[in-house]
Amino acid sequence: MAEQPNPRIEIISTGTEILQGLYPDTNAQWLSRQLAALGLTVAGHAAVGDSLEDLARLLDGVSRRCDLVIISGGLGPTVDDVNRYAIARTYGCELVEDDAAVQQIRDRFARRGLPFVESNRVQALVPRGARVLYNEWGTAPGFILEDCEGRATLIALPGPPRELQPMFDRWVRPWLLERYKPDTQLATLTLHTMDLPESQINAAIADLFHADPDVYVGLLAAGGKVDIRLTARGRDGMTIERKLGDFRRRIETRIGAESIYGCDDATLESVVADLLRTHNLHIAVAESCTGGMIASRLTNVAGASSFLLEGFVTYSNESKTARLGVDPDLIAQHGAVSRPVARAMAEGVLRVSGADLGLAVTGIAGPTGGTPEKPVGLVFVGLAWGNDSTVIERRFLGNRNENRAYSTNVALDLVRRYLLHRGGKSQDCQSG
């Protein structure tokens, strides 16, 4: 039977490792995002260690003030997996063994060619009368406790995301829609931008922040990139998609479509890979300050061998000459971190690899090595193709690792922009 469309929901994540700061609480983040997409608002997050007493105490308070509590973790076979016992104590219910869950655990061990260990039977203990959520992605089942006098309905799920997420999709999502029948839906669209300051984007789209009460606009800057997050609310998916599409077109008009390199799960490397494949081109990379990070990012994409020929980490001046053929007099005259050397590196890796594109980066990542003329954070990125080439200069203000990450992003974005305008004239782009 459907209940109120706006229940009070809280999420509890269990695991001492979360409290110790060893692992982030990604389950609460992911669950909140899924619930928001269904039009259900989360009122609070809590994390607790693997202590039966602490969990029971927390659950006692949360279950009295909520309509629904979702708890993750603590359903495994080890001594510190105490969730089922804390739930049974708090809700005053008996734990019973579910025969189907036991058989599922046995079958999983058999498929892996492992002997069944009797201690794993404990994972099949569920509260009597609970709706069992069978786990096809692990061993421990989850469960739903409904119609609990004076306490919130409770959903218990395993902790590993590779189990929790598909179990939520299979069992919990449809149950939530049937139980609460939310009167609105939410959807998000994240536009990824590159090479535009957050302040510039803010000024360009400032009036859109309050243009529609059903569309929330937010900015998130990280790693030299800025994400524009659009969250739209509506009664049906068609209305929401229309609103998101309208806002996207308005934003593209304000900041330029080329500044948006992708949306949602797209990455710079996946976008570059798609463009290289579309043009049937191969790329080779020569890296100094980034030390292989560009090649690593490109090989994040499955099937990278279809567009990436090879990569060189030419960190020393000698390696730039020996591997790429950079003239040592050029390095002596201008320094390894310079526009001419970046161009020579790009042209060199193009020549020695036989690729269609040669990408190179040289810079001063820090924290040492800078001078007044060439400060820490100065980076040159070169791109060569055919008989032509271009070099861009950037000056970053981060720490060593940040500067290397920024450089990698800028290098990948240079390739993206070239491929969008393939065949254009050579130009040297100064830092903005």
In the block, residue with structure tokens 């009797």: 118
Q: What's the CATH class of domain 268-420? A: alpha beta
CA separation for the pair 335, 344 (Å, rounded): 12
For 343, list phi and psi in degrees, rounded to 5: -65, -45
CA separation for the pair 410, 421 (Å, rounded): 17
CA-nearest of 216, 115, 232, 122 to 184 is 232
CA separation for the pair 268, 412 (Å, rounded): 7
Give CATH superfamily name and number for 9-180. Answer: MoaB/Mog-like domain (3.40.980.10)
* Strands 260-263 and 185-194, sheet pairing: antiparallel
In the block, residue with structure tokens 């490109």: 298
Q: Regarding the domain delimited by 185-263, which CATH topology (the fold level of the hierarchy) does it fall under?
A: Alpha-Beta Plaits (3.30.70)
Residue-wise pLDDT tens digits, 15-26? 999 999 999 999
| pLDDT recorded at residue 424 | 41
Residues 6+ apart with CB under 8 A from 317: 328, 331, 336
CA separation for the pair 91, 127 (Å, rounded): 9
Distances 144 to 84, 128, 154, 265 between C-alpha atoms, Å: 12, 11, 6, 31
Contacts 24+ apart (CB under 8 A), 27-36: 27/72, 27/73, 27/159, 27/161, 27/164, 28/72, 30/161, 30/164, 30/165, 31/70, 31/72, 31/164, 31/168, 33/188, 34/168, 34/173, 35/9, 35/176, 36/186, 36/231
Overall size of the chain counted in residues: 432
Helix axes 237-255, 198-205, angle to 10 degrees: 110
For 92, list phi and psi in degrees, rounded to 5: 65, 40
Residues 6+ apart with CB under 8 A from 173: 34, 38
| Beta bridge partner(s), residue 126 | 96
For 326, list phi and psi in degrees, rounded to 5: -70, 130
Residue-wise pLDDT tens digits, 106-154? 999 999 898 988 889 999 999 999 999 999 999 999 999 998 889 999 9
CA separation for the pair 288, 407 (Å, rounded): 11
268-420 has the same fold as 185-263 = no
| pLDDT recorded at residue 235 | 85
Task: Write the DSSP string, 13-82.
Answer: EE-HHHHTTSS--HHHHHHHHHHHHTT--EEEEEEE-S-HHHHHHHHHHHHHH-SEEEEES--SSSTT--
pTM as predicted: 0.75
Instruction: Write the single-letter amino acid at 10.
Output: E
Contact 164, 179 (CB under 8 A): no
Query: What region, left, alpha or beta, does residue 393 occupy, with left being phi > 0 and alpha being psi -120 to 50 degrees?
Result: beta
Instruction: Write the single-letter amino acid at 61.
Output: G
CA separation for the pair 201, 188 (Å, rounded): 19
* Residue ranges per structural domain of the chain: 9-180, 185-263, 268-420
Contacts 24+ apart (CB under 8 A), 106-115: 108/138, 108/139
Burial class (CB in 10 A: 0-12, 13-18, 19+), 30: middle
Tokens of 159: 């902790």
| pLDDT recorded at residue 112 | 87
Residues 6+ apart with CB under 8 A from 208: 217, 247, 250, 251
Counting as low any pLDDT under 50, the low residues of the chain are 1-2, 423-432
**Sign of the CA dihedral with 295 first, then 301, 302, and 306 last:** negative
| pLDDT recorded at residue 38 | 87
